[in-house]
A and B are shown apart, each in its own frame.
With several copies, the nearest count.
Chain A
Amino acid sequence: MIKKEIYLDYAATTPVDPAVIAVMIECLGSSGDSANPSSSHLPGRRAKARVEVARSQIAKRIGVSSDTVWFTSGATESDNMALIGAMRANAHRGRHLITSVLEHKAILDTAHALEAEGTEVTYVNHDSDGIVDPDQISEAIRDDTVLVSIMHVNNETGVLQDIAAIGQRCHECGVLFHVDAAQSTGKVALKLEDWAVDLASLTAHKTYGPMGIGAIYISEGVSLDPMIHGGEQEGGFRPGTLATHQIVGFGKAFELADPDSDGPLLAARRDRLWTGLNAIEGVFLNGHPAQRSPHVLNVTFPGVEGSSLQLALANVAISAGSACNSDIPDPSHVLRGMGLSDVLAESTLRFSVGRFTTEAEIDYVVGRIQDEVPRLRALASGAPAWTAS
């Protein structure tokens, strides 16, 4: 039944770029740079040298200096480190944390865990386009505020926050600023130092690097308690044997991930997709129409049950809500936060395009959806109005 498979879930994870796979393989086998980068012998030093090249590739891509980038297992860990580590290390300054309701679960669940330990958390809202107003952050900042954590690109809608403006507000108030940039790299430019960002979370696997490796940017002078103990790796911030092949792949992926070249291509694919979907009666786009990353398109198909549309498009890998939440039946907190009803939130799909997405794939998917949406709507003909509003 399934003729071909099309992957439009690049925001969940990307396949690893062939050039990245190549450097990873160089670090795996007996004849490769597979030693422990902490070892002082020759192969260890070779591995270490490759790790340091990767560190500077990553630093360069995000606009910071190499000695502020530390490897972790991914953005989830980095998010946890940033929030827990900064709140603990700066407890003398206060116990107030500011974040937004549209953050990733790695932030929200961590904030909840901190609340259980006595941290007070303010969750700022956003407008119906999914934008957090920097002024709202200023208003939420108190004398005992330690940290503000706002994501750059939203993983469900692709909406882009004005990090530079928020950074300036935090900087003026002497409050630390953390940015979850998991979705940004390779799609939009990052200039973390210029933007007065103190802490940032990165991950390789959303940018054609391997899964299971990420980094935390810790600006010079920022105090952070480590979460994991044991050994002196990564300046003591993050002990554990450095995963050479993962780090080297991460570095290569970030070297390749140039938003200036990838961005326009992604935007072209995404726009073609939206033009096609927009031709379907009643369909609408979620999130700000312009202030957005080029790779995500979040679309509601009123009158069509989301999981049914997903199965109807079984050979097209797309996501209902965010990938990380796909196992969870609750409608997306982000979409509800933007004013969608539960029913409409469930009638919503996230499409995300990538470096390997072709025009032919887009056209095929558009055609399929143009067929399936009317079929499913017909299946429900006569249904009450609440199923589509």
Chain B
Amino acid sequence: MDYSSEVEQRFLSPSRVGEFEKGTPGLVSGEAADRTLNVWIRFQVQVLDGAIRAARFSVYGCPYTVAAADWAAEWLEGRSSTALEELGMLRRYKKLGVPVEKLGKLLLIEDAAAACWRELDGLERQKRN
């Protein structure tokens, strides 16, 4: 495979891998997996005052998935939490040099983010109730 240099760099030194320390305020997480595609992804984001302060991820997958997850995590930081609901990164991944046939895998990233959103939404409902 001929990876773009951005994919290669993000894969070799992803900046937002891992989890936050336990007890960090405002944490939500979500994961998604597809055995047939051989992908698992988990996001953990810190949401304070409706804004995503920081994002972390863990991933089992190909270099594209790793790089795209890293990019998505970076992109999320500083945005409104609604960004989780519909990450809508697919078009951007192409800029990363991800070939079309790999985009299916990257939908899992959207799913994991959406799972974060659902958890956040649940928490907020709880708070409201």
Contacts and interface: CB of A to CB of B under 8 A. Distances in A.
Question: So, do A and B actually touch in the complex, CB under 8 Å?
Answer: yes
B33 A384 contact: yes
A308 interface: yes
Given A311-B3, A311-B11, A342-B38, A380 B63 contact: no
A382 B59 CA distance: 9
A328 interface: no
Nearest to A303: B60
Contacts of B14: 379
Nearest to B7: A311
Interface in B38-65: 38, 40, 42, 58-63
Given A305-B38, A314-B8, A386-B35, A380 B62 contact: no
A97 B35 CA distance: 37
A308 B33 CA distance: 17
A153 B82 CA distance: 57
A381 interface: yes
Nearest to A382: B58
Contacts of A307: 1, 62-63
A45 B12 CA distance: 20
B17 interface: yes
Contacts of B62: 305, 307-308
B112 to A, nearest CB: 12
A163 B100 CA distance: 42
Interface residues of B, number: 22
A387 B1 CA distance: 22
B21 interface: no
Interface in B1-49: 1-3, 8, 11-12, 14, 17-19, 33, 35, 38, 40, 42
B108 interface: no
B38 A380 contact: no
A312 interface: yes
Contacts of B98: none
Contacts of B35: 343, 386
Contacts of A310: 1
A384 B38 contact: no
B58 A1 contact: no
A380 B58 CA distance: 5
A346 interface: yes
B58 to A, nearest CB: 5
Contacts of A380: 40, 58-60
A289 B58 CA distance: 35
A31 interface: no
A379 B2 CA distance: 22
Contacts of B17: 378-379
A379 B18 CA distance: 7
A357 B63 CA distance: 28
